[in-house]
Amino acid sequence: MTGAEWKTEYDVVSTLRKLGHDVKPLGVKSDLGVLRSAIEDWKPHIAFNLLEEFDGVAVYDQNVVSYLELLHVPYTGCNPRGLMLARDKVLSKKLFSFHRIPFPDFMVVPQGRTVKRPKWLPFPLIVKSVTEEASLGISQASIVQDDDKLKERVEFIHASVGTGALIEQYIEGRELYVGVMGNGQLHVLPVWELIMDQLPEDARRIATERVKWSRTYQAKYGIRSGEAKNLPDGKAKEIQHLAKRVYRALGLSGYARIDVRMDAEGHVYVLEANPNPQIAHDEDFSDSAEKAGYTYQELLQELLRIGLRRQPANPTPKKAPSPALT
């Protein structure tokens, strides 16, 4: 279980047990009955949610959290509505626009439709899935410079990822992450950076699937992350404040990571919000929390406290029937 595929689960379960918690790992693949039985039999104080999908579909994890709310079981991480809004990148951007949060210009090509690029969306562009996260479907070929390559990449997303395609203005610059924890009162972690300065000269500095997940590729090109250095004066606080605005605009709770790009002039653009991000030991979120003064044990304990403090909607008390008029 200590392999890379299960590292988060191992780190969380083993650390919670070291803290003295009684932990029952539970796999919920496609049957909510397993979850209900475990809750009825075990009566947990809280569910530590590490779910990334349900029934093979990433966006269905929000339904499992909704089910926990129906059963009145506290949980760590984000609420169902926040998960839904953040997972839908197009809907997120519409909310960003309403709240005047800066983001790259974009258009969407639903499955089964062909792309017709408007003149107001110039090259270079980057093509992504409208709903998938964790850099799924993103490679160097995702950045396109002409309409033929754009058409080709949209078709790739439709066929290989199985979702609509999000076409976004490509922002050349630095890839920055900001962790946020809390419900009403928020704690913003230090600005973190994905450092890709040893990639080949002709490679774009973007978080591709290989950059994010291939240990071999990371070792070969010295890809690492750490606290963002040499930011313009006041820029770190500006980015942290922006992250709080995103968190609140999407109605997030628990904890999340806000991804932004900063161009050479210091302009910052929000790419997306990632509720319930990777929290394995020695990953971006836990490392930035450590920089803020949390040990890994303290981080997990704080996520538990945040989950227990959140008050989901309570059922409306039933009113006594009014006496009938005679």
pLDDT tens readout for residues 208-237: 777 777 788 788 888 888 999 999 999 999
Same domain, 217 and 260: yes
**What are the tens digits of pLDDT across the range 134-167?**
566 677 888 999 999 999 999 998 988 888 899 9
Same domain, 26 and 136: no
Q: Which of 169, 189, 222 is the last residue of a domain?
A: 169
Query: What is the predicted pLDDT for the residue at 195?
Result: 87
Q: Which residue has the higher pLDDT, 261 or 55?
A: 261
Q: Is the pLDDT of residue 93 over 90?
A: yes
Query: What is the predicted pLDDT for the residue at 149?
Result: 94
Q: Per residue, what are the HEC states of the chain?
A: CCCHHHHHHHHHHHHHHHCCCCCCCCCCCCCHHHHHHHHHHHCCCCECCCCCCECCEHHHHHHHHHHHHHCCCCECCCCHHHHHHHHCHHHHHHHHHHCCCCCCCEEEECCCCCCCCCCCCCCCEEEEECCCCCCCCCCHHHEECCHHHHHHHHHHHHHHHCCCEEEEECCCCEEEEEEEEECCCEEEEEEEEEECCCCCCCCCCCCCHHHHHCHHHHHHHCCEEEECCCCCCCHHHHHHHHHHHHHHHCCCCCEEEEEEEECCCCCEEEEEEEECCCCCCCCHHHHHHHHCCCCHHHHHHHHHHHHHHCCCCCCCCCCCCCCCCC
CB 269 within 8 A of CB 103: yes
Same domain, 218 and 296: yes
Q: What CA–CA distance (Å, rounded) separates 220 from 186?
A: 37
Query: What is the predicted pLDDT for the residue at 253?
Result: 97
Written as six digits, the tokens of 170 are: 């490509």
CATH (domain of 132): 3.30.1490
* Half-sphere exposure of residue 319: CA atoms within 13 angstroms, side-chain side: 3
Same domain, 188 and 129: no
Q: Is the pLDDT of residue 6 over 70?
A: yes
Q: Is the pLDDT of residue 294 over 60?
A: yes
CB 12 within 8 A of CB 48: yes
**What are the tens digits of pLDDT across the range 57-71?**
777 889 999 999 999
Written as six digits, the tokens of 226 are: 């750490």
Q: Is the pLDDT of residue 303 over 90?
A: yes
The answer to whether position 230 is within a domain reads yes
Q: Is the pLDDT of residue 279 over 70?
A: yes
Query: What is the predicted pLDDT for the residue at 299?
Result: 98
The answer to whether position 316 is within a domain reads no
Q: What CA–CA distance (Å, rounded) separates 113 from 103?
A: 24
Instruction: Tell me which of 58-62, 102-106, 281-285 is least confident.
Output: 58-62
The answer to whether position 269 is within a domain reads yes
The answer to whether position 15 is within a domain reads yes
Same domain, 65 and 181: no
Length of the chain: 326
Same domain, 192 and 274: yes
Same domain, 178 and 269: yes
Same domain, 187 and 281: yes
The answer to whether position 256 is within a domain reads yes
The answer to whether position 228 is within a domain reads yes
Burial 185-212 (b: 16+ CB within 10 A, else e): ebebbbbbbbbbeebeeeeeebbbebbb
pLDDT band, residue 320 (cuts 50/70/90): low
Query: What is the predicted pLDDT for the residue at 3?
Result: 47
CB 256 within 8 A of CB 274: yes
Q: Is the pLDDT of residue 321 over 70?
A: no
* Distance between start and end Cα atoms, the chain: 70
Same domain, 164 and 186: no
Q: What integer best gives the mean pLDDT of the chain? A: 89
The domain in which residue 274 lies consists of 174-309
CATH (domain of 230): 3.30.470.20
Q: Which of 30, 61, 77 is the last residue of a domain?
A: 77
Same domain, 164 and 219: no
| Number of Cβ atoms within 10 Å of the Cβ of 59 | 16
Domain count, the chain: 3
Q: Which of 120, 140, 169 is the last residue of a domain?
A: 169
**Rounded to the nearest 5 degrees, what angle is found at the Cα of 67, between the Cα atoms of 131 and 259?**
30
Same domain, 156 and 247: no
